[in-house]
Structure 1
Amino acid sequence: MNTQANRVVGRLLTPLLAVCLLAGCGGGRSTDGGRASGQPAPAQEKRAREVADAWRESEAAAAWNQGYYPMADAIQPVDSGWHTTADERAYKTGNIFLSDSLPTTAITQGTVKWRDGGSLNRPLMEATKAYQSFARTHNAERPRLTVTAAKLGETTLTTSRGPATVPAWLFTIEGYDAPLKRVAVTPSPLPEPPIEPTPEGFADGIRSVTRLAGTAVDGRSITVGATHGACDDGPVVRALETDESIVLYASVARERSGPCTAQLIEQNVTLKLRQPLAHRILLDARTGRPVPYGLPNGPTPSWT
């Protein structure tokens, strides 16, 4: 397992987690993404199996398989890359100005088209709202970018159902030939989980996985966010893999007693999978919910 510290978070993160469904032809096998030696606590694996069983052939699973759930950033920077470090800094801080009015459109629906077939109509976001999602500050004394025009177009995006072509607002950035793209359609509502969440720390210290941070090109490993405190040896994330799902369950390694500062540290944890992720759903064992894609405290979570 690979761990890489990302940041210290001064508050609890609200986890939305993605899950895979348990196959009906047999039990799943656990893969260990943690640093701690030994087997996972029986209560943790039991909870993971309960979540997988609850999702299997459930109404929630059917709704998930028919919905539009982005698994990549809704904001896509210019394809050519930023010309300077100042421009990159302006993008990352959202210091982006508008030099002209944005277009209005009477179109209220956009169509998501999957590469392997199938489509879905979803509400279309107005250009102004799309602009505000990445233009978060307006400080003329710091490096900034300027939007000079916008039009409705398309982009490609990874979703829970594979690659899709989706409507997007294309924003012209002063000094750049390629546009900044912002996905213009909203995700489907999340289905109600078919199982109740457990309290944090229940089931021998089970914790939530906060987010999906990335997937290997071959789909054989995933990187997720997990949290721990200042008085332990870091997060441990394990996966219960089945033909239909991957249920992630997190804990911490070697928690120490005694005085400890109150802080929550998020780290990236990379897990190797027994089989490629493919279209299996990622679920969080503690909450029973799908795991969203996203950067910590980022402006564009994959769904709300």
Structure 2
Amino acid sequence: MRTDLTRTARLLLVLALSAAGAGAAAGCGSAEAGGTEPAPRSDARAQQVAKAWDGSRAAAQWRAGYHPVAPVVRLPGTGLLRDDADRHAYEIGNFELQGKLPAAPGGNGRVTWPGGASLTMPLMDAGQAYRTLDHADSPGPRLTVTGVRKGEMTVATSRGPATVPAWLFTLKGYAGPLKRAAVNPSRPPAPPIGPLGQDVPADVLAPLGGLTQVAGNGRSLTVVAHHGSCDDGPVVDVLETSGSVVLSAAVTGVDDGPCTTELRGKKVTVRLDEPVGDRIVLDAFTGRPVPYTDGAGAAPAGG
């Protein structure tokens, strides 16, 4: 269905939908954040966000936590499923369980980093882990789980690679297990700056959809940026400081003519002057760390 929308109405729709998604991923504002900020230019806003976070208590809390920047699910062997049917079953979450899952273990597990740093976190039980995989009820092809056991896996995090407790699911027809991390990410700290309001035009600044990849050398980031059906797509600018990488997304080439109201996501790769290291990747619009989004499926094999 096509709807005649003015440029302003269309951009507000994009912002409203994007901000709703960002809020669901990162949570609501807090008293510490000071509520909604006015609408500055994108470069000034990025500087404000960097200044608020660099050296803040929130930044220290973030660096002390467990924040994955890669998938927490690893497929068997080389990380490639054997055919299109199995790949489709995995993508939509169509699994079948043969037998029983282990009883809930209770207690905590330890996340460890090279050098000896560690963090004690609550363990999810096998049922919880299985339900993150099996969330469809389709009559089509399924991946069959024939056994589950405790184990470990390596997950890329904002602090570098971490060894985390995992549930290892045996899949029918595969020699190695599917691994699923048995701990959830740490709760994000209350941000030291508030989000922008939804009256900011999307060709000035818009919220990001999420972080999908950090390059192995840390010199580039891939994020999901939103745009509409009557524009030239999104662009993402970067401001680098010693403590943060602030990303500013916007929509370019907006057309004032008739347009559908759909919201599209596009992956955009941002090159950095220096490796990201332990710097916090921030969204200029929300004023919050950009949440990881598992948009690409499983992680490479290993761990």
Is the shorter-chain TM-score for this pair beyond 0.5, marking a shared fold? yes
The equivalent residue for 2:173 is 175
The equivalent residue for 1:24 is none
Letter in 1 for 2:219: R
Structure 1 residues 184, 244: closer, same or farther in 2, change over 3 A?
same
The equivalent residue for 1:14 is 21
* Residue 245 (structure 1) aligned with residue 244 (structure 2): yes
Shift of 1:270: 1.0
The runs of 5 or more residues in structure 1 that have no matched partner are: 1-7, 18-40, 300-304
CA contact (8 A) 1:153 1:170 kept: yes
Alpha-carbon distance in 2 for matches of 1:197, 1:83: 44
The equivalent residue for 2:205 is 206
Bigger fraction of residues in helix: 2
Alpha-carbon distance in 2 for matches of 1:241, 1:105: 44
Per-residue Cα deviation, 1:158-199 (whole angstroms, up to 9, x for no partner) = 011110000000001112110011100121111000001111
Alpha-carbon distance in 1 for matches of 2:296, 2:176: 27
CA contact (8 A) 1:54 1:195 kept: yes
CA contact (8 A) 1:122 1:187 kept: no
Residues paired across the two proteins, number:
267
CA contact (8 A) 1:221 1:272 kept: yes
CA contact (8 A) 2:77 2:175 kept: no
The equivalent residue for 1:55 is 53
CA contact (8 A) 1:77 1:180 kept: yes
Partner of residue 75 from structure 2, selected from 74, 77, 95: 77
Which piece of structure 1 moves more, 147-156 or 271-280?
271-280
Shift of 1:117: 2.7
The equivalent residue for 2:127 is 128
Per-residue Cα deviation, 1:56-92 (whole angstroms, up to 9, x for no partner) = 2111111001111111112211123322222222211
Per-residue Cα deviation, 1:240-281 (whole angstroms, up to 9, x for no partner) = 011211000111112121322111111011111111111111
Q: Helix, strand or coil for the counterpart of 1:121?
A: strand
Per-residue Cα deviation, 1:129-180 (whole angstroms, up to 9, x for no partner) = 10010111243x4211111110111000001111000000000111211001
Q: Helix, strand or coil for the counterpart of 2:21?
A: coil
Alpha-carbon distance in 1 for matches of 2:214, 2:105: 37
The equivalent residue for 1:46 is 44
CA contact (8 A) 1:215 1:221 kept: yes
Shift of 1:201: 5.1
Letter in 1 for 2:156: T
CA contact (8 A) 1:237 1:249 kept: yes
Alpha-carbon distance in 2 for matches of 1:48, 1:11: 22
Alpha-carbon distance in 2 for matches of 1:86, 1:106: 33
CA contact (8 A) 1:214 1:223 kept: yes
Letter in 2 for 1:177: A
Q: CA RMSD in A?
A: 2.3
* Residue 234 (structure 1) aligned with residue 241 (structure 2): no
Alpha-carbon distance in 2 for matches of 1:83, 1:296: 20
CA contact (8 A) 1:230 1:261 kept: yes
Q: Helix, strand or coil for the counterpart of 1:282?
A: strand
The equivalent residue for 1:275 is 274
Alpha-carbon distance in 2 for matches of 1:264, 1:138: 27
Shift of 1:116: 3.2
Q: Helix, strand or coil for the counterpart of 1:70?
A: coil
Alpha-carbon distance in 1 for matches of 2:249, 2:61: 26
The runs of 5 or more residues in structure 2 that have no matched partner are: 1-13, 27-38, 299-303
Structure 1 residues 166, 75: closer, same or farther in 2, change over 3 A?
same
Letter in 1 for 2:41: A
Alpha-carbon distance in 2 for matches of 1:298, 1:85: 14
Which piece of structure 1 moves more, 156-165 or 130-139?
130-139
Structure 1 residues 66, 218: closer, same or farther in 2, change over 3 A?
same
Alpha-carbon distance in 1 for matches of 2:87, 2:260: 35
Partner of residue 194 from structure 1, selected from 192, 195, 202: 192
Alpha-carbon distance in 2 for matches of 1:214, 1:241: 18
CA contact (8 A) 1:200 1:206 kept: no
